[in-house]
Amino acid sequence: MRSGSGSVHDIAIGSDHAGFWLKEIIREHLLKRGFSTLDMGTESADSVDYPDFAVKVCEAVLSGAARNGILLCGTGIGMSIMANRFKGIRAALCHDHFTALAAKRHNNANVLALGGRIIGPDLGKEIVDTWLEAPFEGGRHQRRVDKLDASQDKT
């Protein structure tokens, strides 16, 4: 962890080896913007398994240690699949401005997944800023989000 513990952080962030480079850029960007981050790893470009880091970030969000989470792997796909297995996590895989906006406005996504092999640093920062700054619209979207959060495991 590169930030202090014991308090609620703005964002828990985690990646595998393929998202590591972008995690470092996004983390620095967030710190410059005044957000507190909880860095759950990985710490290098050495090969690791992305589900392990998705679990750490989702647990931080669900425990209240962090308000939101950001996950990065090569495509963002594996991270978003793992994250969405947690009840109460609404993870959105975003590759552009519009999906980042809708992820918050409509889905109130509490975890953002990004692909380090898909997007560049500037787009990554723009997606993060858009998602963080957009307001959740509530209303009919709240009803739908409530249904997401109330859904049981499908077998």
Residues recognised as catalytic: 73, 106
Q: How far is the CB of 56 from ligand RB5 (least distance, A)?
A: 16
Give the nearest residue (CB) to ligand RB5. Answer: 78
DSSP notation for 76-133: SHHHHHHHTTSTT--EEE-SSHHHHHHHHHTT--SEEEEETTT--HHHHHHHHHHHHH
Q: How far is the CB of 72 from ligand RB5 (least distance, A)?
A: 8
Peptide bond between residue 42 and the one before it cis (omega within 30 degrees of 0): yes
Residues found near ligand RB5 in the complex (CB under 6 A): 16, 18, 50, 73-75, 77-78
Q: Please identify, using beta-carbon distances, which residue of 65 and 94 lies nearer to ligand RB5.
A: 94
Q: How far apart are CA 15 and CA 82, in angstroms?
A: 12
Q: Please identify, using beta-carbon distances, which residue of 41 and 74 lies nearer to ligand RB5.
A: 74
Q: How far apart are CA 8 and CA 86, in angstroms?
A: 20
Q: How far is the CB of 96 from ligand RB5 (least distance, A)?
A: 18
Q: Please identify, using beta-carbon distances, which residue of 24 and 129 lies nearer to ligand RB5.
A: 24
